[in-house]
Amino acid sequence: MRAYIENKVAVITGGASGIGLALGEEMLSLGARRVVLADLNEEKLRKESERLDATYPGKVLGVPTDVTNRERVFSMIEKASEFGEGRIDLLLNNAGLGLAKAFDDTTEEDWTFAFNVNFYSALYGIRAVLPIMRSQEGGGHIANTASGIVFSPMPLQSMYSATKAALMALTSSLRSELWDDHIRLSTVIPGTVATPIWDKAGGSPKGAITPQESAQGIIKGLAANERIIIITEEDKSGARNHFLPEYSEGVDAYFLDVARRRKRGEIVI
């Protein structure tokens, strides 16, 4: 992992907390040359960037960024390239929201927002960084954070399921398309992680892994150039089994139970 990260320039969206912040900290500890953290929360971003810069002087840049805004994302990538002296080796499109709402309660505006934050934000980052990665020796690596929900689409989470599934499809398609340009793409399935994404659900579920555990698994997968980086055994099981025809009856029964319980107001993961 150190050999892979050492002397690289990394850009991480959603970098002021949770998995994004843990990724930045892990990469710095492994010898990254520069790490750029992008986040909408300016106060948190400033605090964490200053904290990391005190330990790794001159290696950290925080860039306030609304990732749903194409111009802001392109501007952030430009600043990151300048900070990296013309290089960006790693782009981790990690920003996103865990959206939960019954389909009948969603509006077209809800769906537009969902795709803006969970899909188009990564698309903008990819478009912005490709010219840089194509022009530099060694190419680059882009990782897009999806979710285990792509293997197990959950009831009352149609927006989250659809946006993350679209992101994984985009990433997988581009992986082969850009391979000969020496640009690698990986989809990240980070596991159920104890992050602020669970705050509205009353806290992280039992068995959630830490952001540091997820970050270490992600970096290990990046170093191995894995197509889909799956951190937990639970998500690996979902990837193997959910869409198999022979399991369809059991899968239907399980998710029907989840749907009914959620409709009653229960928090079911």
Closest by CA to 61, choosing from 116, 24, 106, is 24
pLDDT the model gives residue 195: 75
pLDDT the model gives residue 200: 61
56 is catalytic: no
pLDDT the model gives residue 136: 97
pLDDT tens across 161-217, in order?
Answer: 999 999 999 999 999 999 999 999 999 999 999 876 666 666 677 789 999 999 999
β-bridge pairing 183-189 and 9-13:
unpaired
Residue-wise burial string across 61-97, b where 16 or more C-beta atoms lie within 10 A, e elsewhere: bbbbbbbbbbebbeebbebbbebbeebbbbbbbbbbe
Strand order of the β-sheet with 140-145 is 60-64, 34-39, 9-13, 90-93, 140-145, 183-189, 228-230
pLDDT the model gives residue 268: 80
Q: What are 158's two structure tokens?
A: 């149609």
pLDDT the model gives residue 205: 76
pLDDT the model gives residue 201: 62
Catalytic residue selected from 120, 160, 247, 254: 160
Instruction: Give the position of tokens 């399980």.
Output: 254
Nearest-angstrom CA–CA distance, 72 and 9 = 20
pLDDT the model gives residue 269: 74
User: Which ranges of the chain have pLDDT less than 50?
Assistant: none
